[in-house]
Structures are given as structure tokens and as C-alpha cells.
Amino acid sequence: MVSCVVTMVTRGRSGEWIQKIHKYFGNKPFTCKDILKKLPEFSGGSMLAQMRSANVIRLENRKKRAVGMRKDAPSVWVFTTEALFVLQRCK
């Protein structure tokens, strides 16, 4: 069985976005605002939600949900270990 992470990272439009985000941030933390600075055409929240539900990214503070996304306290994301493994294999 192919995991959701492998499918999302290696296939389709989502895979392209994930590769671009990884190119800029690697294993460093990032916010949606950081992504939009580097990739202004990024679709934003819906793609981040898909990445989170597929276990491609997780919150830096290791909590399950991003509660109260505000400008003064944005959600900070990092790639999961499995996603980094797949991304490094794809290079």
C-alpha cells in the first residue's frame, strides 16, 4: 500500500508545490506568509490543509491542530520525517 505522503509528494500539482516549498525551506520551519513571499502564486490555506491531513507537514509545536491562526501568532509548520525522506529521495 502506497502511503498518502508518497502519493502527495510525488504526484500531480500538489507534488510540484511541495517540491517548490521544500526547495526554499528544506527542514526549517515556515508559515503560510513565508511561502507567499517566496511563491506568491501559492494557493494557500487549502493546500496547507491537504498537506497536513496527508501527514506531509506538521505544526512545529507538535500539536494536532492550528488553533486561532492570527497575524500576530501564525501557525508554524515543518515537514514530517516521512515527507523529508521522500523529498530527498526524489532529488
Element of type H or E holding 84: helix 81-90
Identify the pLDDT of residue 90: 74
- All structural domains of the chain, each given as residue ranges with its CATH number in brackets, are 4-90 (1.10.10)
> Can you list the alpha helix ranges (DSSP code H) found in 1-70?
4-10, 12-25, 32-38, 45-53
Identify the pLDDT of residue 74: 81
DSSP state of 78: E
**Global confidence as pTM:** 0.84
For each of the chain's 91 residues, which pLDDT tens digit applies?
Answer: 468 899 899 888 899 999 999 999 999 999 988 999 999 998 777 888 889 999 999 998 876 666 555 666 788 999 999 999 999 887 6
Identify the pLDDT of residue 1: 44
